[in-house]
């Protein structure tokens, strides 16, 4: 499903661009998906290139560009936040094991 911007927020050119995109097979395929896609950005003029950027809840981004010849292209990106998990190094693991062995010998 695509969450389209409200008409009252759009210029006449932006409405034209979104209507052109709405007629594409890509837009129809996204409309049929269970995930919701929302617009991050859209072109406010009809000058080429016309660029529309959509994102889903998993931070998957699709950029659709209409060139001066009327050809649509799509670029895909995953911009999900990356969280670095702490993984101990081999030296840290060995030091911890040695400390545990020392503690056992002290008892």
What does the pLDDT read at residue 82? 63
Query: Which residue, 60, 65, 53, 66, is CA-closest to 33?
Result: 60
The CB density around residue 78, as the number of other CB atoms within 10 Å, is 9
Q: Strands 50-55 and 60-66: what pairing?
A: antiparallel
What does the pLDDT read at residue 83? 64
Which tokens belong to 28? 């129809």
What does the pLDDT read at residue 89? 81
Block means of pLDDT (10 residues each) for the chain, 107 residues, are 94 96 96 96 94 93 95 88 72 86 72
pTM over 0.85: no
């Amino acid at each position: 499903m695509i969450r389209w911007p409200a008409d009252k927020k759009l210029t006449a050119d932006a409405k034209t661009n979104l209507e052109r995109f709405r007629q594409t097979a890509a837009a129809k395929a996204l409309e049929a998906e269970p995930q919701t896609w929302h617009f991050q950005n859209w072109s406010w003029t009809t000058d080429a290139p016309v660029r529309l950027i959509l994102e889903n809840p998993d931070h998957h981004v699709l950029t659709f560009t209409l060139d001066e010849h009327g050809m649509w292209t799509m670029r895909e990106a995953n911009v999900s936040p990356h969280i670095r998990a702490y993984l101990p190094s081999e030296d840290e693991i060995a030091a911890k094991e040695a400390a545990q062995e020392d503690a056992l010998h002290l008892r």
